[in-house]
Amino acid sequence: MNNWQQRIAGALVTVVAVVLVYAAGYQWGMAAFEGVPVSYAQAVQVVVESITTAGFGGHAPWSSTAMSLFVLAMNLTGMLLVFLAVPLFVVPLVREALKTHPPARASMSGHFIICAFSPRGAAFAAGLASRGRDHVFVEPDPETARSLYDDGHAVIEGDPELTRTLKNANLSEAAGVVADADDDANASIALSVRELNADVRLATLVADPAAASYHRLAGADAVLSPRQLLGRSLARQVPTVLTRPAAGEGAAEGGIALGDHVALFEIKIEPGSVLFEKSVREARLRERFGFDAIGAWKRGRFTSPVAPDAQLEAGTRLLVAGPPGQRRALRQEGAAAVRSFGERPVVVAGHGQAGRAAASTLAEAGARTVVLNRDKQEGVDVVGDARDPETLEEAELPEAKAAIVAVDDDTTAIAATLVMRDINPALYLIVRANREADEQKLYRAGADYVQSLATVSGRMMRSTMLEDEQVFAPETQIEIARLPAGALAGQTLAGARVRSRTGCTVLAAMRNGAPLPEMDPDAFRFAEGDDVLVAGTSEQVQQFEAAYVG
What is the per-residue pLDDT for 370?
Answer: 96
Q: What is the mean pLDDT of the chain?
A: 84
Strands 317-322, 263-268: pairing kind: antiparallel
The whole-number pLDDT of residue 141 equals 93
Q: What is the mean pLDDT of residues 113-128?
A: 92
CA angle 433, 238, 288 (to 5 degrees): 120
CA distance 238 to 453: 18
With contact defined as beta carbons under 8 Å apart, do 112 and 154 qualify? no
Share of the chain above pLDDT 90, in %: 39
Is residue 338 predicted with pLDDT exceeding 50? no
Distance CA 371, CA 355 (A): 8
Distance CA 535, CA 479 (A): 6
Phi and psi angles of residue 361, each rounded to the nearest 5 degrees, phi first: -65, -40
Q: How far apart are CA 347 and CA 380, in angstroms?
A: 11
The predicted structure's pLDDT at residue 252:
41
Residue, of 278 and 171, whose pLDDT is higher: 171
Is the pLDDT at 253 greater than 80? The verdict is no
Residue 144 has pLDDT above 60, yes or no: yes
Higher pLDDT, residue 410 or 90 = 410
Amino acid occupying residue 501: R
Residue 537 has pLDDT above 80, yes or no: no
| Residue 164: its H or E element | helix 163-168
Give the confidence band of 432 by pLDDT, cuts at 50, 70, 90. Answer: very high
pLDDT at position 242: 47
Q: How high is the pLDDT of residue 246?
A: 34
Say whether pLDDT at 57 is over 70. no
Q: What is the pLDDT of residue 342?
A: 52
The three-state (H, E, C) secondary structure of 387-398, written as one string: CCHHHHHHCCHH
Q: Which of 62, 66, 362, 322 is nearest to 235 (CA)?
A: 362
Is the model's pLDDT at 2 over the cut of 70?
no
* Digit-coded pLDDT (tens) for 343-389: 689 999 999 999 999 999 999 888 899 999 999 999 999 999 999 99
What is the arithmetic mean of pLDDT over 16-42? 88
pTM above threshold 0.85: no
Confidence of residue 89 (pLDDT cuts 50, 70, 90): confident
Domains and CATH numbers, the chain: 3-98 (1.10.287.70), 112-224 (3.40.50.720), 244-334 (3.30.70.1450), 478-549 (3.30.70.1450)
- Summarised one tens digit per residue, pLDDT across range 184-228 is 999 999 999 999 999 999 999 999 989 999 999 999 999 999 999
Residue 36: strand, helix, or coil: coil
Helical spans, DSSP H, in 247-352: 251-254, 280-283, 285-289, 327-334
Structure confidence at residue 477 (pLDDT): 66
